A and B are shown apart, each in its own frame.
Chain A
C-alpha cells in the first residue's frame, strides 16, 4: 500500500472514530435528557392532576351514590382536570377511561405507589408512556390515576436528529478524508520525486536531481540526496574518464605495436618466401633489426608509464635542483656533442621535493624533444626560476592547434619525421605523468619557426628559493 494512502487512511479512520464516538455519546445523552424531561413534565402533570382529583374527591358525597353517578362524576372530574389521556382505576376495575387505549393489566396493583411511577411500552411501533399514581380518597378508598401518552414523536425527533447528525457527519468526514489525502499526497510529493530521481540515476541518467522546496525533513533528505547524486556523478565521470584514457592508451598501443610488427612480419616473410637480391636481403634485415629495437624502446617507455600509473612508491625527497641539472648535463653531454648542440643551464632554485630518478627522466625527455626540433649549432636553454623549470629551444616550433594534443600518448606532430628520429610518441605523456606526480603541470608555449618553451610549474613543494631571492 502506498504511504500516502496509509497515512490518509490511518488519519481519516482515527478522526472518524473519534468524532463518531463523540457524536454518538452526545446524541445518546441528548436523547436520554429529553426523555427524562418529557417524563418529568408528565410526572408533574400527573402529580398536579392527581392532587386536584384527590382534593375534589375527598369527602365528596357523590362518590357514595350509585355506580353510574360515581362514574359520571369521575368522568366529569377527569375531563375537568385532565384530558383524554387519563384512566381511573379502583381496585383493579376501570372506573373511567378517556383514552383510545384499552388497559390490559388492570389489577396488577403496580400503580398503588403514592409516588408517580411510569413504564414505556412498545405498542405496534408506537412508544406509549404509561404513568400512574395512587390517589387516597377518604372515605371511599384508593383510586389509581393512570396517564397514557403516545410519545413516539419524541423518539422520532431523536431519530431524526441522529439521522441528521450522521448525514452531516458523513459529509464532513468525506470532506476531511479528501482534504487529508490531498494534503498527505502534497506533503509526500518530494518522496515521489526522490524516487523518480533515484530510478533515473539507477538507469544511468546521472545528472538527475530533485527540486528541494521545503526545509523540513523531506527537504533535508532531498538535499542529502542531491549531494549524494553529485558525488556519484563525479566519481562515475572520473572512472569513465580513467577507463576512457586507459582504453585510448591501449588502442594507441595496439596501433603502435602493429606498425613495427607489420615490418617485422613482412620482411621476415619476404626473406623466407621471396627471391630477392643480397642487397635487398640485407636491407630487410636492417629493417627487422631497427623495428625490433623500436619495439624494445616502446616496451621500456611503456613499462615506465604503466609503472607510474599504478605504482605509488615514488620516493620523494628534497633535492637541490642544481645537482639535478648537473646529472642531466652529464647524461645528455654525449648526445649534444654528437649533434653539435649546446645546453645552457641556469638555476636559481633551491631544493625541490622530488623523486630524483623521475625528475631526471622528465628533464632528459624534454631536452631530447628540444634536440629533435633543433639543428646543428643551436642552443637549448634550461632555466630554473621561481617555481618553474623551463626548457627552451629555438627549433621549428609546434603548430598552435597541435599543442593540446602533444601530451597524449603516441601522439606525434610529424609522424614520419619523428619516427626517423627514433621517437615513439610517449615522451611528453611520460613527462606529464611525472609532473602530475610532483604536483606540477606542463605549460607549453610555442611559435612555429621561432621555438618552443616547456614550463614545468610546481605548485608548492619547493623550498629555499626565498633565501636565494635575498641574495639578489
Chain B
C-alpha cells in the first residue's frame, strides 16, 4: 500500500511541484493550501503517514499545526523559506522530524521523506518493480516468487533506486547514499554493481542509464 503524505503549502506552484514528485516516487500526495483546512482533512480522511508543513501559511501557521499533527500522530517535516537557525531549532524542538529549507532539490525532499518514514516505522515493507519484489523487513529479493541472492551493496543500491522510482541519481549521489560519503573509490564501481543487479534480476530495461546524469529505475 502507498504511503499517504499530506502536503500543506500555500503556494500553488510549489504545492504542485511537491505532489508531482511524491506521486511519481510512489506516494499518495494530498495537497492542502491553508492552515485552517488541515484539521478537517485529518479528521475526515484516512490516516496520513507524514505531513509536509510550510511554516508560513494563511490561517494557522505551521508551528500552530504541530499540535493537531501530534493528536493525529502524524510525523511532520517542515518546509520553509526561513533558513535561520532560530526557526530551525524552534521547528525541531516543537517535535518535527526534519526541516527542509526552500529552495530544495527533489532528491533531497524524497530522501528526507523516506528517512522519516523509515524512522517512524511507517515505511512500506514491500516494493514491487515489475516481476521483482523487494521485502524490506526480511531483506529479501524475489523474482517471480524465487529468491535471488544479492550482495549487501547491490541490495542497498537496488533499494535506493526502487524507493525513489523515476528519479535519476548521479553516480556521486549513489556513492554517497550507499557507500557513504567517506568512500574513496571510483564512480565506476557503481556501473559494475548496476550491471550485476541488471543481470541477476533481469532489470536492464527498468534500471535505465540516463546520459550525463546517472541511473534511474523506471516503472
Contacts and interface: CB of A to CB of B under 8 A. Distances in A.
B123 interface: no
Interface residues on A, range: 20 to 34
Nearest to B212: A272
Contacts of B41: none
B103 interface: yes
A110 to B, nearest CB: 112
A415 interface: yes
B104 A266 contact: yes
Given A262-B81, A280-B20, A274 B106 contact: yes
Interface in A331-353: none
Nearest to B106: A269
A280 B24 CA distance: 10
Nearest to B18: A266
A273 B213 contact: yes
A416 interface: yes
A416 B169 CA distance: 33
B190 to A, nearest CB: 16
Given A270-B17, A283-B16, A420-B12, A261 B103 contact: yes
A287 B213 contact: no
B213 A262 contact: no
Nearest to A288: B13
A254 B82 CA distance: 9
B43 interface: no
Contact of B103 (A265, A273, A283, A287): A265
Contacts of A254: 81
Interface string B9-24: 0111110111011001
Given A261-B102, A274-B168, A416 B12 contact: yes
Nearest to A277: B24
Interface string A31-50: 00000000000000000000
Interface in A263-282: 263-267, 269-270, 272-276, 280
A255 B21 CA distance: 23
A291 interface: yes
B118 to A, nearest CB: 21
B63 interface: no
A339 B150 CA distance: 64
Contacts of A280: 20, 24
Interface string B202-219: 000000001001001011
B74 to A, nearest CB: 23
A416 B167 contact: no
Contacts of A264: 103
Contacts of B219: 275
Given A262-B81, A287-B13, A269 B105 contact: yes
Contacts of B210: 273
A269 B104 CA distance: 9
A425 to B, nearest CB: 13
Nearest to B108: A269
Interface in B72-89: 81-82
Given A262-B102, A262-B103, A274 B16 contact: no
A415 B10 contact: yes
B103 A416 contact: no
B21 A274 contact: yes
Given A261-B102, A261-B103, A416-B58, A275 B13 contact: no
A248 to B, nearest CB: 14
A416 B34 contact: yes
Interface in B157-180: 166-169
A84 interface: no
A261 B105 CA distance: 11
B155 interface: no
B166 to A, nearest CB: 4
13 contacts: A262-B103, A263-B14, A265-B104, A265-B105, A266-B21, A269-B107, A270-B17, A274-B21, A275-B166, A275-B167, A275-B218, A415-B10, A416-B12
Interface of B: 10-14, 16-18, 20-21, 24-25, 33-34, 56, 58, 81-82, 102-107, 166-169, 210, 213, 216, 218-219
Given A415-B58, A416-B11, 13 more contacts: A259-B81, A262-B104, A266-B103, A269-B105, A273-B213, A274-B25, A275-B216, A275-B219, A280-B20, A283-B20, A291-B13, A415-B10, A416-B34
